[in-house]
Structure 1
């Protein structure tokens, strides 16, 4: 070039996974006005690829194994442009990016040292994904224009938030003179350090909210393992940067937050060996305490808890909670995947068209337990709707796998299908015991009925925020947006009403009518009780004990908390164990080998796995007693006024990791066993049903069976679907006037 170029594009590094040809080909295919390209080619593959573009590009062959710092330094030494743009050989440049950068840089004042611009991201799955940096760059540019119309530069101390941009040298161009002044500090293989340091050293910066770089993320499995020293270097990087930011409070505070965030993310996601992880945590903890700015306040909620554990060097506690959340992450991941797909469907033409059509006043959509099937409160409401308002047509949302199990004639839609979105768009009534996807629009005139699926012992909604095991993976803002769509929230007792208002603050109206699914506990007769026991294979005269433990947030999967074979053996041949795992777990309640004692007991019918049996209300009708831990089934079963035994071997852990609304140990519905020996003792004596147990159960029923009297579904249908006034609904019967379904013993005698 005869004249000094405005921009020198320095492509550097080896030809990783053969991405370099596409990069150089794209550069060669577009005019490079005011730009020169220098390729610091590391190794033979990169050199051979680059030499195909001579004389258009300048090629600097470097030996195999030369690091990024050496390659950048070689390219910068040869560059003649006023500005330098470092591009790694594995990455890319959008068409016309060099020209855009050069033209923008040419108009900047001489005080600007760094030009920041947006980028896109690519992986092996997708390409050109937007980065999170665009809005921040746009805001900074707008702010600069409004404050100083005659200038286009910013001082970092006034815009310290720019340090939150992705730390790549590729998403910024640097003035050549500035680079050479600070080359000794900036020439490092640690690219994020160089990217941050460039901003900290710059007198002024400028922003270009335009994608001019492609950051290609290689699969971690295709890269060399990260050494322990490289892990520890993350902490060292931030400490060096904080030294560089000394005396600049705004920049220092942002860097400190970035350090803590990145250290916690690395610890949680990197899969380091235990000894390396503990040492990493120790170093990060030391830095977090030593470098904490004066007056710094931790954020609220989960993030604040995590940071507190880091500062306390509570590695063991953090790892325990980390392991505890694996199941929840899987569940939430599935939900998030559904949300993303739903978001795509919102933009789909059929949903837009359906939203433009009138709301159908005779259409109701029902769903339960993330589309598992016809169950719980929605099922009871749908059944009563058919009796009182047959003109309203119900459509159930059910997964493809669950559709085969539906009762004959059940109209249903599978999530994600065209009709699914059409009925969601047009239905006047939407009924669910969890939530519909975020993408569902709350149309004027529609009614969203949240039925819930249990009385809360454990913390729910926003109350989960201080508990990492419970809050992991939850998007609380998205949760509140879903809650804001509710018109009605069903409650079984005043405790639930208060907790729902606290956990889900919005304008929905609480329907204190009882849980419709619990009506059967007052409407079922002796014949129904005998029939379900016969279906389950419980012989007449035998005691059936339903064992139904709940899900643990701090465990990765089902962990049997009892030796069921030993328990069944000690309870004797006249007792049948009905074992039901929580629906979060897809596996059987208690896997065992064909030769195990438990398998033998199953063959004899003394242990029956009812994990897949629906509805659960029938299991309760069949059981002479319930053994549970912290499951909300205890509140429902209490309606039957039958014995309940609490097995709470991990109460302290559960209470600490999940959070609870009251002390179950002090207000249990019956005797409490803290280990299997005590549980066995309770069930082999009269302690499970003696006067003391009955007294505890009576107090529990008064508190938690407040609105359940057998007519909850009727009240809900009349209020929501028929629009009847609250004052005209059937009143809730006082507890002493209710007659629960007969016990198995009573049913057999009748």
Structure 2
């Protein structure tokens, strides 16, 4: 039976929002509709196919990467079989109940109605469900069916395809998919109103527009700016060709002039582009001005007059005068800030006026704790491949004594710190530099990160108060906007960073440099590490590395280590990386520590050596599992509070179903996994293999080399060493192999 409504989801899976949209559709059990997903690119196709496997309403339609919006809409419409079409962009959303609401409205629409329009909300990274601004229109229309002659204010509706359903025959009869401006959603939205006989109105919200950060999108070129004027001129020609009545023509003209002026004022166009945009907008304002048109009074009337005169210089002067009052109000505050600026700020600003030093690189890791993680691996490879670049480490004063001998370093807040930060060409960090660090145009900021995300990160923490308490997301975005490059270990991370940290940086899908050692370490290295840790020869070493809980004020022990050690026997050594040794001579762990069966490695660095020393890893939700998987050694998950953790922190995938090995929920289960040998049985090996292919995708032992060649030596992606497939890599020998 022909469905009444075809929802056409179209576009690429921008920042992972397609999955959210299809999840919301799955939660709306309305059978009398089909959902055609015109999925652009592999990521979108995978999401569409995954949801189609469990929802028969979803029809996946795979389209090549780079397919334009117009072509994706046309392909979806051609595949649709419903009597009405509702175009939904893959990044947008449908509020609860919207599917049935739109389907019912189209079913109730009179035969003369070619469109059903409805209200929408707008969401962005920092605001959810903001009103559209169209409410005043629907307050007047109610649920009536109207035409433009009777209610021309319909042309003031936000020009979206998502806030209207279109009769399928109407769409095809007018060849809307083949219009010259079919790629332009705003044009098509207005064109449907100009063509329609009648428009049925639904005075309810049935669509959510998700506005992505401008900084996460490609820069807008000059031709795209000029296209705003061209679109409106095309709409004016369409209206003239349809012999539209005087009142709708007047409203359409108002819409054109307002958008042109708004675009000119807010888009920050370069001077030559702005001047040409103004000239084209002036020409359109004069050419299409309706007869008997009256300009509004006040400032708006002056703006219109200057536009029609093409008085660019006068318009700029008028803008400047309007801004002057606001500038004067803020001048007093700015003056106080300048007077109260610290001496260090004075030194920093002075240093910023000097040239950038192309041979100077600043490194920092874990909020200035010392030489570690990805920055340390990059610095080591830099010394080998580009010794002409001098590394300087930012280190907290109380950590400076722990630095390797000969390490050049700066202490935050000192005069030399500000001088070096100002002059350095390269700034490398696995977290963010302070807000006060200025991004110079010639400097390069390299964000290495320090783990693969299971838990929600960045902007994705907003929905989880326990995780986001005290976070200033605006300041976070300002720091993200300084990144030039972002290092990634796998496609999952690349996509989640794009979603959680939306900005214009380049993703380096090269692997984590700190994990190179998992492919370069030798049997001698592993024996030496175990000797330093005090692991007796022939003993099985299990590294236990739990993570922090945002919902806990302090540290809660999750395992009875003494009991666990007893069950695992004298041949097992527990390497415990945590902060909850019970302490005191009476502790049941005291004897185990003295005998070497439990070793506190909480402050041992680097953590990669602990991984190399361990025969197996036990963890809960720590990102160490993704790194350790490179070694192809058993991993056991101990997740006694998964539901609480997932609910309070938020997660990107279900670790219980997609873990790297055996999953246990109680201490008895954990002990039994090792007692029975299940920790390394066939099922555990298969799970680990799938996990490695997914999360160790780019880690092959040459990540640091690729990063140094790409960022510091300026080599092209094509010139870098290719990533070795997971199944063709040889990780470091296991402790058992190293002992032979």
Report TM bin, short chain: 0.5 to 0.7
CA 1:592/1:347 → structure 2, altered by over 3 Å: closer, same or farther? Answer: closer
Contact 2:344 2:414 in 1 (8 A): no
For residue 118 of structure 2, what is the aligned residue in structure 1? none
**Structure 1 equivalent of residue 490 of structure 2:** 493
1:597 matched to 2:588? The reply is yes
User: Distance between the aligned counterparts of 2:432 and 2:652, measured in 1?
Assistant: 22
> Is the CA contact (8 Å cut-off) linking 2:344 and 2:418 kept in structure 1?
no
Q: Give the direction of change, closer, same or farther, for the CA distance of 1:346–1:485 in structure 2 (3 Å limit).
A: farther
- The alignment status of 1:369 with 2:357, answered yes or no, reads no
| Distance in 2, Cα, partners of 1:426 & 1:400 | 21
- The partner residue of 1:622 within 613, 619, 622 is 613
1:479 is matched with: 476
Q: Is the 8 A contact 2:344 2:413 kept in 1?
A: no
Distance verdict in 2 for CA 1:559–1:717, change over 3 Å = same
Name the counterpart of 1:95: none
Q: For residue 344 of structure 1, report the CA deviation from its aligned partner.
A: 5.4
Per-residue deviation at 1:345?
A: 5.2
Alignment partner of 1:689 out of 677, 680, 694: 680
SS at match of 1:466: coil
Question: Which sits farther off after the overlay, 594-603 or 453-462?
Answer: 594-603
| Residue 736 (structure 1) aligns with | 727
Q: Distance in 1 between the 2:676 and 2:424 partners?
A: 54
Per-residue displacement from partner, 1:645-702 (whole Å, max 9, x unpaired)?
0000000000000000000000010001101010010111211011110000000000
Answer yes or no: is the 8 Å Cα contact 1:571–1:684 preserved in 2. Answer: yes
Contact 1:589 1:609 in 2 (8 A): no
Deviation per CA, 1:35-60: give whole Å up to 9, x if none.
xxxxxxxxxxxxxxxxxxxxxxxxxx
Tell me, in whole angstroms, the C-alpha distance in 2 between the residues paired with 1:601 and 1:344. Answer: 55
Measured after TM superposition, the shift of residue 348 of structure 1 is 2.2
1:466 aligns with 2:463: yes
Matches within 5 A, 1:101-112: none
Matched positions, count: 408
Q: Given the superposition, is the C-alpha separation of residues 572 and 484 from structure 1 closer, same or farther in structure 2, using an over 3 Å criterion?
A: same
Within the candidate set 398, 403, 412, 1:401 is matched to 398
- In structure 1, what is the equivalent of residue 641 of structure 2? 650
Q: Give the corresponding residue for 2:658.
A: 667
Question: In 1, Cα distance between the equivalents of 2:728 and 2:405?
Answer: 37
Task: Please point out which of 440, 448, 453 is paired with 1:456.
Answer: 453
User: Pairwise mapping of residues 480-629 of structure 1 onto structure 2 (< 5 A)?
Assistant: 480-581=477-578, 588-629=579-620
Superposed displacement of residue 558, structure 1 = 1.9
Alignment match, 2:702 = 711
Larger Rg: 1
Give the CA deviation at 1:622: 0.1
- Residue by residue over 1:439-494, the C-alpha shift from the partner in whole angstroms, topping out at 9 and shown as x without a partner, is 10000110000000000000000000000011100000000000000000000000
Residue by residue over 1:14-42, the C-alpha shift from the partner in whole angstroms, topping out at 9 and shown as x without a partner, is xxxxxxxxxxxxxxxxxxxxxxxxxxxxx
Give the RMSD, CA atoms, in angstroms: 2.0
Q: For the residues of structure 2 that align with 1:559 and 1:394, how far apart are their CA atoms?
A: 40
SS of aligned partner of 2:658: coil
Q: TM-score, normalised by structure 2?
A: 0.54
For 2:518 and 2:620, locate their aligned partners in 1 and report how far apart those are by CA, in whole Å: 21
Deviation at 1:401, TM superposition (A): 1.2
- The corresponding residue for 2:442 is 445
1:414-453 aligned within 5 A: 414-453=411-450
The CA deviation at 1:737 is 1.1
Kindly provide the CA deviation profile for residues 180-238 of structure 1, in whole angstroms up to 9, marking residues without a partner as x: xxxxxxxxxxxxxxxxxxxxxxxxxxxxxxxxxxxxxxxxxxxxxxxxxxxxxxxxxxx
Partner of 1:190: none
**Alpha carbons of structure 1 residues 346 and 744: separation in structure 2 relative to 1, 3 Å:** farther
CA shift digits 1:235-271 (9 cap, x unpaired): xxxxxxxxxxxxxxxxxxxxxxxxxxxxxxxxxxxxx
Distance 1:487 1:608 in 2: 41
Quote the offset at 1:346 in angstroms: 8.5
Unaligned runs of 5+ in 1: 1-294, 301-339, 582-587
Aligned pairs for 1:72-471 within 5 A: 348-471=345-468
TM-score (norm. length: structure 1): 0.53
Whole-angstrom distance in 2 between the partners of 1:637 and 1:346: 46
Alignment check: 8 A CA contact 1:579 1:589 kept: no
Verify the 8 A CA contact 2:448 2:486 in the aligned structure 1: yes
Match of 2:669 among 664, 675, 678: 678
Q: Distance in 2 between matches of 1:550 and 1:344?
A: 40
After superposition, what is the alpha-carbon deviation per residue over 1:566-625, rounded to whole angstroms, capped at 9, x for unaligned? 1111111100000002xxxxxx44232212211110011100000000000000000000
